[in-house]
Amino acid sequence: MKPTLLILAAGMGSRYGGIKQLDTIGPSGETIMDYSVYDAMRAGFGKVVFIIRKSIEEPFCDIVLRKYQQSIPCEYVFQEVDKLPVGYQPPEGRQKPWGTGHAILMAADVIKEPFAVINADDFYGRDAFLRMGRFLQNTDMGSSHWAMIGYRLANTLSDFGFVSRGVCCVDGNNMLVNVTERTKIKRTDWRLRVEARNDKVRAIVYQDENSNEIVLNEDLPVSMNFWGFTPSLFTCLKSGFENFLKINKESLTAEYYIPSEVSRQIDSKNADVQVIPTTSNWFGITYAEEKTAAAEQIKVLVEVGGYPMNCF
């Protein structure tokens, strides 16, 4: 059975200033999603499911789905604030979505096979899709043996300032132990003091809670939210989200995140997660200024033959 690709496209990109999932960066008007779908098809995925908001349905269908209809089966489902379990209502004034865990749960009725989860506005690279595709095609559908693509930290940094990354701790078998969020990560000149020397070297650092800069190994595996699951995840999400709502049902901002639920399943030994290393470079568009840089990277990949001039 071919795996499915689930794309989280419900966010509206408020910091970016528009519907960034539908913005074009490729030479023939491709979106970042187009490259993800193209890579997924080459890696053996058989279907794509999108999580979107009702408010972007018309432009989404016109710009995105129409170009895929002759290439791969596609479906979409909605993530809305009021899509809650029976007995729950969103608090008055709640506009913020309930998070990535809730978003994935919306696809429970349309995904019955192993599946990968990605963000719509992130570029993950061909190698990452090939590796995840192989894992999912060799996974027992009934198991809770899941996966996460682990990117080399140095391959995920931005030229436009600080980033936050989930730094992965793995055991000797490349199984995920935990993910630690590190904030304000950047490349910088780091003063290296060895004996009497006082040299500067280029290093990757993050800032701790006291604003101290601490060096990070550039080869550390980090999570960029490229996950691989079996349908067993949906049972976990259903109970996990209901427990979340019992505590946060009146909150206007609390979100139910997929990494939190995965961590709970690992800690309770109900599931395990294999961290799959990749040689791919990751890049995304968080702020409008990053669009030009992303377009340049795509242009180079097209020029060296990694992608065609027109993916669809």
Q: Are 160 and 140 in contact (CB under 8 A)?
A: no
Tell me the pLDDT of the chain (312 aa) as tens digits: 899 999 999 864 444 455 666 778 999 989 899 999 999 999 999 999 999 999 888 888 888 888 898 899 999 999 999 999 999 999 999 998 899 999 999 999 999 999 999 999 899 999 999 999 999 999 998 899 999 999 999 999 887 778 899 999 999 999 999 999 898 998 886 554 444 455 566 789 888 888 888 889 999 999 999 999 999 999 999 999 999 999 999 999 999 999 999 999 999 999 999 999 999 999 987 767 788 889 999 999 999 999 999 999
How do residues 32-70 score in pLDDT, each as one tens digit?
Answer: 999 999 999 999 999 999 999 998 888 888 888 888 988
Cα–Cα distance between 237 and 20 in angstroms, integer? 27
Q: Where are the beta strands (DSSP E) in 153-217?
A: 163-170, 176-194, 197-207, 213-216
Q: Which fold has domain 4-145+221-303?
A: Spore Coat Polysaccharide Biosynthesis Protein SpsA; Chain A (3.90.550)
Contacts of 36 (CB under 8 A, 6+ apart): 5, 7, 118, 120, 122, 123, 124, 129
Contacts of 298 (CB under 8 A, 6+ apart): 25, 26, 27, 30, 35, 123, 307
Name the pTM for this structure: 0.91
How do residues 75-89 score in pLDDT, each as one tens digit?
Answer: 999 999 999 999 999
Structure confidence at residue 14 (pLDDT): 46
Structure confidence at residue 13 (pLDDT): 47
Per-residue tokens: 103: 């978003």
